[in-house]
Amino acid sequence: MNCLIPAFQDVPDSDVNSFNKERSSAEITFRNNISLPFSQPWEYNRKRGEKMKKIEIEQLDKNLISMIHNDWAVLTVPDEGKVNGMTVNWVQMGWLWNKAVVTVYVRPQRHTYPLIEQNECFSLAFFDDDQRDKLAYLGKASGKDADKLAHVGYTTTVRDGAPCVDQARLVLVLKKLAAMELTGSQFVDKTVEAASYPHQDYHKAYTCEIVAAYQKEA
């Protein structure tokens, strides 16, 4: 099952701070020109368009709890002609409604929130340990102020209708199934609410079907 190809696929080419397009019969690669006024981005340290192979989700060979808690992940979503990435650490994965699913949590204050609301499909990317500094930046900076993926030297390729980071170790393509706004009344254990939401800035939860999984080839 493929998601609809997002509108940013047809963004015009530009010479500065945009994406150069390379079309093929299967996928479209976006290459970010790195030229930002506020700081010097990281050097691009891998070949663009690194090969990834499509796998069955049951083929994952790493502990899911460790992958989410220790490795972090980047939620990647179309953003008006570019692609926005936000590091996430609160993620659930499992089997629900006879589907392999992921639930991601996004606060309404984040730039990613309206993008998730507007798009049916997006992706979740996991990385090698040497990318931790870049993931920390993607979690702290706002997409309102910068093209964050370009800043850290990441490029994306459309796979199954969603932008996927080329430099990731593993990418899950997600399609929204359900959404739920968290409220204080839903917490049975009030200590969890007090520790996680002292300002009552609750997340919205998006449960998504895992449409496809891609793993970096060795």
CATH numbers and ranges of domains, the chain = 19-216 (2.30.110.10)
Spatial distance between the Cα atoms of 89 and 157, rounded to a whole number of angstroms: 23
Q: Which residues pair with 173 in a beta bridge?
A: 123, 212
Spatial distance between the Cα atoms of 101 and 119, rounded to a whole number of angstroms: 17
Q: In the prediction, which pLDDT does 4 show?
A: 54
Spatial distance between the Cα atoms of 151 and 28, rounded to a whole number of angstroms: 20
Q: In the prediction, which pLDDT does 1 show?
A: 53
Residue with tokens 């990647």: 76
Q: Could you tell me the pTM of the whole model?
A: 0.76
Q: What is the mean pLDDT of each run of 10 residues along the chain (218 residues)?
A: 46 31 32 33 43 84 77 90 90 94 94 93 92 91 87 93 94 97 95 95 96 88
Question: How much is the CA Rg of the chain, to the nearest whole Å?
Answer: 17
Q: Give, in order, the Cα–Cα distances in Å from 110 to each of 23, 63, 193.
A: 32, 29, 20
Q: Cβ(3)–Cβ(209) under 8 Å?
A: no
